[in-house]
Amino acid sequence: EVRRLVRDLLLLAGVVFLGVVFLFQPFKVEGASMQPALADHERILVNKLIYRLRPVERGDVVVFWFPGDPHRSFVKRVIGMPGDRVAIRNGQVFVNGEVLDEPYLISPHRRGDHHRPVTVQEGHYFVLGDHRSVSNDSRAWGQVPERLILGKAVLRYWPPRRMGTIQ
């Protein structure tokens, strides 16, 4: 009876371990570009399988391989979807001519922050950091191909006082 219980617990632990390894990947946030949602040196879990089950959505916080150097990864928020027309005027983001509601920003509008209108290519995404004044994102290096998206940032686990889901 005890032997069976130990075997079952070990089997369960193995299944949980494999699930975590294949479903999630830990990621360390570097820099302040996603504040206040994510801060420098925080650690998060990335769901690697979610985009096989459903498409990327506007507002998702994604981790992806940097298009200019596939050995570096970034975390940003999806703003523009394939086919969208994205523009920034005086710090305000417009998607298909409509102002994008961005409640996650600290100070949403910076005078003088402009980006010429672009149409997001099929199979690509326009991503921005939440802390726009320090973020290196699609405004600087263009759109992110879907194939470079590692997954969706879903959970902050370090530091423990900020543990929780990522919005």
> What architecture does CATH give domain 26-165?
Ribbon (2.10)
* Dihedral (Cα; 61, 87, 143, 120), 10-degree rounding: 100
Q: What is the pTM of this model?
A: 0.86
Average pLDDT score over residue span 131-143: 91
Q: Read off the pLDDT of residues 25-46 as tens digits, 9 standing for 90 and up.
A: 899 999 999 999 999 999 999 9
Whether the pLDDT of residue 70 is over 60: the answer is yes
One-character DSSP codes across the chain = -HHHHHHHHHHHHHHHHHHHHHHEEEEE--SSTTTTTS-TT-EEEEESSHHHHS---TT-EEEEEETTEEEEEEEEEEEE-TT-EEEEETTEEEETTEEPP-TT-SS---TT--EEEEEPPTTEEEEE-SSTTT--SHHHH-PEEGGGEEEEEEEEEESGGG-EE--
Whether the pLDDT of residue 124 is over 80: the answer is yes
Whole-number pLDDT of residue 6: 86
Is residue 152 among the annotated active site residues? no
- Take residue 65 and report the two structure tokens written for it: 């391989």
Burial tier of 33 (Cβ tally within 10 Å: 0-12, 13-18, 19+): buried
Whole-number pLDDT of residue 16: 74
Is residue 76 among the annotated active site residues? yes
Amino acid letter, 131: H
Catalytic-role residue among 33, 135, 138, 152: 33
Write down the mean pLDDT value for the chain.
91
Whether the pLDDT of residue 96 is over 80: the answer is yes
Catalytic-role residue among 73, 76, 107, 133: 76
Q: Read off the pLDDT of residues 11-20 as tens digits, 9 standing for 90 and up.
A: 888 877 777 7
- Domain locations along the chain: 26-165
